């Protein structure tokens, strides 16, 4: 089993190295190498899955946790490179490699005119590698390494077209905002180490349950640690207040948005909390997670209503859905949260790729207002997009329905009634903005400009095949995995990972909830239809709330004034002028020279050529010496 794991991990790394080093030489072949690398990983994941499943059925221990290599060993501090494969890991592995593979294939078509072709694929492989490290880790440090790695790749890929200022700015923004979260994460890791003396999951979770740890901050140790960890998740998974980078991240190529910002990287935060479920449950800090999650969901949904850029709508949607996932893990329904993660990966990934298809057809136009009536021109794209939209809106029987429903149900059961209602409102908004997008883009009169219209065509197979492939699970995976609510196949699979006893058991029947969410979803879709299917978006009212929403509540501007400008000013005037120029250059460097000269100048006077002065020094010495001794012995 371990060789499979290693192969799984190494394959994308090799792909990255080959493409990175020889990219210019091999040109188009790099894409093949990259795809093959991920394919290998995918196959390995499937193999692992079957292995673990077999073991489970035979009653064997169904996970694999071992240390490969001791990286740092300094006294009490020991950091190892270790792997843990359990059901949670497998779920993540399948999602990452599966969706990842499809996106790689899609990229062959999408990026084929780009001159940074090889560089793109090498970055993609590096990303997958980092993400794999993140989910395969058996200790926090290694997870953090993967965490940082995906952050780095996100920066590289968002700013892929670096000649474009907006793109490179977006990349920087992503990285910096992420960093803030990372800081919290690191502090959390340190706290955990201080308390538990180790970074490994097994040890920490075990000791946490038995209460056998150093209470560094008194009784609140676990609370503080988990909150700090959550800060990291806020940054990585774009929650309030660190979500601002995700919409701007749309500057990157669309497949990147699909992979990183829908399916995988942003879910790392959710994964991390799920992995640390033991700690969160014991610390009872899930409530904060849930609240921030639901507020984020609501806020993002409101912003999505007025966005006119297809990818922006999808970006806000992602933030919103991530909020849902946070609600899931926050209320203790860890399996439900992960379930939503899986379904979201499929339908959001699908929608992003479909949007990419639209862009490709529309010669890189993104503004919905310039589209319309594309249904007939781009059939495959349209139907797959529709499938995704129905899924996310929670249309009965489709995947989003199952996963979202479970989360809301658990919220209600857990006593989080307010969260439940807000979640419900958000669901309505989700359906609304999603279908607004569909109607404006694909239905109604065509507002496409003539010269663009000339090039309008369906995407090549290498692009629409992945779309179709993704559409299938988007529609049905919810059914397969989620039938039976808490009794579902998915729950059985993941159940033993989250063996923290909470209010997991279903208290009430799920039928009322299904009914409510269906009503809400239908309401959203119909409203969208009424408002948008016939009329053009130019008819949208121009009053103050609209403006607020359109401008994203001016949050970016607020951040800029409050944080960015002061720091820049401080660096430029305070630190640079004073510290650098004066202190370092003048005082330190110049000072050393002046000092040496001064001392030298003084010492020069001792070296007269006159013998008698030397003798004088001797006499002085003798005087001092004798005086000293007399003093001692008198």
Partner 1 sequence: MVLLVIFGLVAICSAICVIAFKNPIHSALALILTFFSQAGLFIALGAHFVAAVQIIVYAGAIMVLFLFVIMLLNLGSLQDTVRQNVGAIKIFVFLLAALLVIEGITVARYVDQNGGVIKDQSLDVVIQRLKDDFKMSDEDIKSSVEKLYGEGTSISNLTSVQVIGLVHSEMGKTERIGTLLFSKFVLPFEVTSFILIAALIGVITIVNRDPQETA
Partner 2 sequence: MVLSVLLFTIGVIGVLVRRNAIIIFMCIEIMLNAANLLFVAFSRELGDSSGQVIVFFVMTVAAAEVAIGLAIIVSVFKNHDTVNVDEIKSMKG
Q: Does residue 630 touch partner 2 according to CB under 8 A?
A: no
State which residue, 3 or 634, has the beta carbon closest to partner 2.
Answer: 634
The SS3 assignment for 607 reads: coil
φ, ψ for residue 484, nearest 5 deg: 105, 10
State which residue, 162 or 629, has the beta carbon closest to partner 2.
Answer: 629
Q: Does residue 603 touch partner 2 according to CB under 8 A?
A: no
Q: Which stretch binds partner 2 (CB under 8 A): 113-121, 208-216, 416-424, 604-612?
A: 604-612
Residue 604 contact, options partner 1, partner 2, none, Cβ 5-8 Å cut-off depending on partner type: partner 2
Residue 623 contact, options partner 1, partner 2, none, Cβ 5-8 Å cut-off depending on partner type: partner 1
State which residue, 3 or 607, has the beta carbon closest to partner 2.
Answer: 607
Closest CA to 93 of 126, 136, 50, 64: 136
Which one among 75, 604, 631, 634 touches partner 2, defined by CB under 8 A?
A: 604
Residue 516 CB-density burial (10 A; 0-12 exposed, 13-18 middle, 19+ buried): middle
State which residue, 603 or 632, has the beta carbon closest to partner 2.
Answer: 603
Q: What is the Cα–Cα distance from 515 to 526, expressed in whole angstroms?
A: 17
Residue 626 contact, options partner 2, partner 1, none, Cβ 5-8 Å cut-off depending on partner type: partner 1
User: What distance separates the 2 farthest-apart alpha carbons in the chain?
Assistant: 117
CB of 589 to partner 1, least distance (A): 39
Are the beta carbons of 119 and 25 closer than 8 angstroms? no
State which residue, 507 or 623, has the beta carbon closest to partner 2.
Answer: 623
Which one among 461, 560, 608, 621 touches partner 2, defined by CB under 8 A?
A: 608
State which residue, 211 or 600, has the beta carbon closest to partner 2.
Answer: 600
DSSP structure class, residue 83: E
State which residue, 25 or 610, has the beta carbon closest to partner 1.
Answer: 610
Helix axes 399-413, 379-393, angle to 10 degrees: 10
CB of 631 to partner 2, least distance (A): 18
Sign (positive or negative) of CA dihedral 395, 400, 406, 410: negative
Q: Does residue 561 touch partner 2 according to CB under 8 A?
A: no
Q: What is the Cα–Cα distance from 306 to 588, expressed in whole angstroms?
A: 57
| C-beta neighbour count of 204 within 10 angstroms | 23
Residue 611 contact, options partner 1, partner 2, none, Cβ 5-8 Å cut-off depending on partner type: partner 2
Q: Kindly determine how many residues on this chain lie close enough to bind partner 2 according to the rule CB under 8 A.
A: 10
Mark residues 109-148: x for contact with partner 2 by CB under 8 A, - for none. Answer: ----------------------------------------
Q: Does residue 609 touch partner 2 according to CB under 8 A?
A: yes
Q: Does residue 611 touch partner 2 according to CB under 8 A?
A: yes
| C-beta neighbour count of 472 within 10 angstroms | 13
Residue 210 contact, options partner 1, partner 2, none, Cβ 5-8 Å cut-off depending on partner type: none
Which one among 376, 501, 607, 634 touches partner 2, defined by CB under 8 A?
A: 607
State which residue, 501 or 612, has the beta carbon closest to partner 2.
Answer: 612
State which residue, 546 or 620, has the beta carbon closest to partner 2.
Answer: 620
Q: Which stretch binds partner 2 (CB under 8 A): 28-36, 67-75, 525-533, 608-616?
A: 608-616
DSSP structure class, residue 584: I
CB of 607 to partner 1, least distance (A): 18
State which residue, 579 or 615, has the beta carbon closest to partner 2.
Answer: 615
CB of 72 to partner 2, least distance (A): 56
Residues 366/367/368/372 CA torsion (nearest 10 deg): -80
Residue 609 contact, options partner 1, partner 2, none, Cβ 5-8 Å cut-off depending on partner type: partner 2
Which one among 74, 593, 610, 632 touches partner 2, defined by CB under 8 A?
A: 610
Are the beta carbons of 300 and 417 closer than 8 angstroms? no
| C-beta neighbour count of 209 within 10 angstroms | 14
Q: Quick one: the chain helix, strand, coil %, rounded to 5?
A: 75, 5, 20
The SS3 assignment for 64 reads: strand
Cis peptide upstream of residue 520 (ω within 30 degrees of 0)? no
Are the beta carbons of 62 and 24 closer than 8 angstroms? no
Residue 589 CB-density burial (10 A; 0-12 exposed, 13-18 middle, 19+ buried): exposed
Are the beta carbons of 305 and 553 closer than 8 angstroms? no
498 φ/ψ sector (left φ>0, alpha ψ -120 to 50, else beta)? beta
CB of 627 to partner 2, least distance (A): 15
Residue 608 contact, options partner 2, partner 1, none, Cβ 5-8 Å cut-off depending on partner type: partner 2
The SS3 assignment for 563 reads: helix
Q: Does residue 619 touch partner 2 according to CB under 8 A?
A: yes
Computed over its alpha carbons, how large is the radius of gyration of the chain?
30
Q: Which residues ranging from 216 to 275 are in contact with partner 2 (CB under 8 A)?
A: none
Cβ contacts of 302 within 8 Å, gap of 6 or more: 429, 549
Q: Does residue 612 touch partner 2 according to CB under 8 A?
A: yes
Residue 87 parent element (H or E): helix 87-110
Closest CA to 124 of 148, 160, 88: 160
State which residue, 74 or 630, has the beta carbon closest to partner 2.
Answer: 630
Residue 270 parent element (H or E): helix 267-275
CB of 621 to partner 2, least distance (A): 13
Q: Would you tell me which residues interact with partner 1 (CB under 8 A)?
A: 612, 616, 619-620, 622-623, 626-627, 630, 634
Residues paired with 137 in a beta bridge: 83
Which one among 558, 615, 624, 626 touches partner 2, defined by CB under 8 A?
A: 615
Q: Does residue 599 touch partner 2 according to CB under 8 A?
A: no
CB of 606 to partner 2, least distance (A): 10
Q: Does residue 617 touch partner 2 according to CB under 8 A?
A: no
CB of 609 to partner 1, least distance (A): 15
* Binding region for partner 2 (CB under 8 A): 604, 607-612, 615-616, 619
């Amino acid at each position: 089993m371990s060789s499979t794991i290693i192969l799984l991990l190494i394959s994308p790394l090799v792909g990255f190295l080959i493409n990175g080093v020889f990219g210019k030489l091999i040109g188009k072949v790099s894409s093949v190498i990259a795809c093959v690398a991920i394919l290998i990983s995918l196959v390995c994941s499937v193999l692992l899955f079957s292995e673990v499943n077999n073991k489970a059925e035979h009653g064997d221990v169904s996970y694999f946790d071992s240390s490969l290599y001791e990286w740092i060993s300094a006294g009490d501090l020991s950091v190892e490179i270790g792997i843990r494969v359990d059901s949670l890991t497998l779920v993540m592995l399948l999602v990452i490699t599966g969706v990842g593979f499809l996106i790689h294939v899609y990229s062959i078509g999408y990026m084929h005119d780009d001159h940074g072709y090889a560089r793109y694929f090498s970055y993609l492989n590096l990303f997958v590698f980092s993400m794999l490290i993140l989910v395969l880790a058996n200790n926090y440090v290694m997870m953090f390494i993967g965490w940082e790695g995906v952050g780095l790749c996100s920066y590289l890929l968002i700013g892929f077209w670096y000649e474009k200022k907006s793109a490179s700015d977006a990349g920087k923004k992503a990285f910096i905002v992420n960093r803030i979260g990372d800081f919290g994460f690191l502090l959390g890791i340190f706290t955990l180490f201080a308390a538990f003396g180790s970074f490994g999951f097994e040890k920490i979770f075990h000791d946490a349950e038995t209460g056998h740890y150093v209470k560094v901050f008194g009784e609140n140790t676990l609370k503080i640690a988990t909150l700090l960890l959550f800060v990291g998740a806020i940054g990585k998974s774009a929650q309030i207040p660190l979500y601002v980078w995700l919409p701007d991240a749309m500057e990157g190529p669309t497949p990147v948005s699909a992979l990183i910002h829908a399916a995988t990287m942003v879910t790392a935060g959710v994964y991390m909390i799920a992995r640390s479920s033991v700690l969160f449950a014991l610390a009872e800090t899930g409530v904060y997670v849930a609240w921030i999650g639901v507020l984020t969901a609501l806020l993002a949904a409101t912003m999505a209503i007025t966005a006119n850029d297809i990818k922006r709508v999808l970006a806000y949607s992602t933030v919103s859905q991530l909020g849902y996932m946070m609600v899931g893990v926050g209320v203790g329904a860890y399996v439900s949260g992960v379930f939503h993660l899986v379904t979201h990966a499929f339908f959001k990934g699908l929608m992003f790729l479909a949007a990419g298809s639209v862009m490709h057809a529309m010669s890189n136009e993104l503004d919905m207002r310039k589209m319309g009536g594309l249904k007939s021109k781009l059939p495959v794209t349209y139907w797959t997009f529709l499938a995704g939209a129905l899924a996310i809106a929670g249309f009965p029987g489709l995947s989003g329905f199952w996963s979202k429903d479970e989360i809301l149900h658990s919220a209600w059961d857990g006593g989080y009634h307010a969260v439940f209602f807000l979640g419900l409102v958000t669901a309505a908004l989700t359906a609304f903005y999603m279908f607004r997008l569909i109607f404006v883009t694909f239905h109604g009169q065509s507002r496409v400009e003539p010269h663009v219209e000339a090039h309008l065509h369906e995407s090549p197979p290498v692009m629409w095949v992945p779309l179709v492939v993704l559409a299938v699970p988007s529609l049905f995976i919810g059914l397969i995995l989620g039938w039976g609510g808490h009794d579902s196949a998915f729950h059985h699979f993941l159940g033993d990972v989250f063996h923290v006893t909470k209010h997991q058991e279903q208290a009430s029947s799920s039928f009322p909830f299904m009914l409510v969410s269906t009503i809400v979803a239908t309401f959203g879709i119909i409203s969208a239809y009424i408002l948008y299917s016939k009329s053009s978006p130019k008819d949208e009212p121009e009053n103050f709330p609209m403006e607020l929403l359109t401008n994203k509540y001016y949050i970016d501007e607020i951040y800029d004034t409050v944080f960015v400008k002061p720091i820049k000013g401080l660096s430029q005037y305070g630190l640079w002028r004073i510290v650098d120029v004066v202190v370092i250059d003048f005082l330190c460097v110049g000072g050393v020279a002046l000092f040496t000269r001064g001392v030298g100048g003084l010492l020069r006077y001792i070296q007269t050529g006159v013998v008698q002065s030397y003798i004088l020094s001797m006499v002085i010495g003798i005087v001092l010496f004798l005086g000293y001794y007399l003093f001692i012995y008198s």
